[in-house]
Structure 1
């Protein structure tokens, strides 16, 4: 199979791992914030390590490893962060994981659709990162990214399903919606692969752009959500464990 085909398959599987995370809602009525904060901290750690070792360092290396390469990577990181910030400001959406919080322009869409848009904004950079990883034609780099994103999507899938349960959706509805939120990642994967394939000279910038978008999500969304109920120390250790595991995976596979 071509690198593109493998990349599409891996980005799809990474996105669908949200489905695996949602399975526990069929077997338990409630999961403590303490447990969930630790899991989401783990997800943040995996994303952070993937950003550093699978996106930022390759961006600098592909750019030549000199000061010019660092500046290009820096510009890409800032562009990715600003891009996510603008989408977050203007796309109507609502966060329901720990507290109801509407953002973006006003909309007549139902609450669940606003929540799905919020998760879509959150998940798109992850798919983009996986696609860009495979767009380098280095399958091992792409695989480590896809595996890491898949790992961190498991606790996110659980968090999404629990948020929907709190809004009185049935187990089946919460499970299906959680599964659907992962579909955006293959879309981001396609865009990442296409962008990387069109222009190799732009590859360092595109890698860094995906990194900046991921960093924005980590800092603006995941970490604040894990510090809402007094379990920030547990979430921090979860982040450290996730970072170390992803670092090991990246060195082993990359």
Structure 2
């Protein structure tokens, strides 16, 4: 029974991305060729990005950092230490990916990372892939912690994380597939690429599960590692995107919505 729930939990976020990517078939935008013109109204896009950021921050706290420190309670006043170390390693890991992989953020004119001959759409997909790696790791490490019994994580808490990430993956899928269509890809190709951008999540989750028996004693470090990686994405990518262009409060308001939704899910199902 647990195996079925684990498989479901790993796939739920991927389904969220896939459904969001399908919006390219139903939502209309201002199609351009080779430009950066948004295909989603700016306020809507900022709101969706803020919502995703709120979910990721809440998940990092309730599903990852708090369990990591609770598991380290035997260290007394130093119970925070594994969480701090893991958090920093996770942040530096994403920083390294940011520098080593050529990628292009939404609306950015200049690519980040080393020079490459990749097409613009390819680098946009790589940016999303970097973003999705920590989310998949977070899901995998939470289910691994539940299986090993090393941390006080219930199946409900693990499913809450999967559902929360799936909810924030839905708008992300739309935010990816529609700009790809606006940059010249047909709807079918944009949809497929949007789906593939989320495929790294179940892969990362499965890898974490496979190594669960090996890193069982280090579970607090891995939980906080995933948290550090997710917070890096939020601060480096999502929050700046909510502040681009004309000032709007939608990103902040939807951040609060996403944060409280994820917090409520974790407490209610955990």
The superposition leaves residues 200-247 of structure 1 with CA deviations (integer Å, 9 ceiling, x where unpaired) of 220000000000000000000111111112244110000001101111
Distance 1:194 1:223 in 2: 33
Distance 2:143 2:26 in 1: 37
The match for 2:68 is 59
Change (3 A) 1:124 1:8: farther
Distance 1:242 1:181 in 2: 22
Q: Contact 1:8–1:186 at 8 Å: present in 2 too?
A: no
The match for 1:69 is 79
Q: Contact 1:20–1:157 at 8 Å: present in 2 too?
A: yes
Larger radius of gyration: 2
Q: 1:188 aligns with which of 204, 207, 215?
A: 204
* TM-score normalised per structure 1: 0.94
The answer for unaligned runs of 5 or more in structure 2 is: 30-39, 147-153
Q: 1:118 aligns with which of 113, 127, 141?
A: 127
The superposition leaves residues 32-57 of structure 1 with CA deviations (integer Å, 9 ceiling, x where unpaired) of 01111111111110111011100000
The alignment status of 1:36 with 2:45, answered yes or no, reads yes
The alignment status of 1:26 with 2:36, answered yes or no, reads no
How many Å apart are 1:93 and its aligned residue?
1.5
The answer for unaligned runs of 5 or more in structure 1 is: none
Q: 1:153 aligns with which of 150, 169, 190?
A: 169
The match for 2:192 is 176
The match for 1:78 is 88
Q: 1:139 aligns with which of 145, 150, 155?
A: 155
Q: 1:205 aligns with which of 203, 221, 226?
A: 221
Q: What CA RMSD, in Å, does the superposition of the two structures yield over aligned residues?
A: 1.5
* TM-score normalised per structure 2: 0.88
Distance 2:255 2:82 in 1: 28
Q: Contact 1:98–1:228 at 8 Å: present in 2 too?
A: no
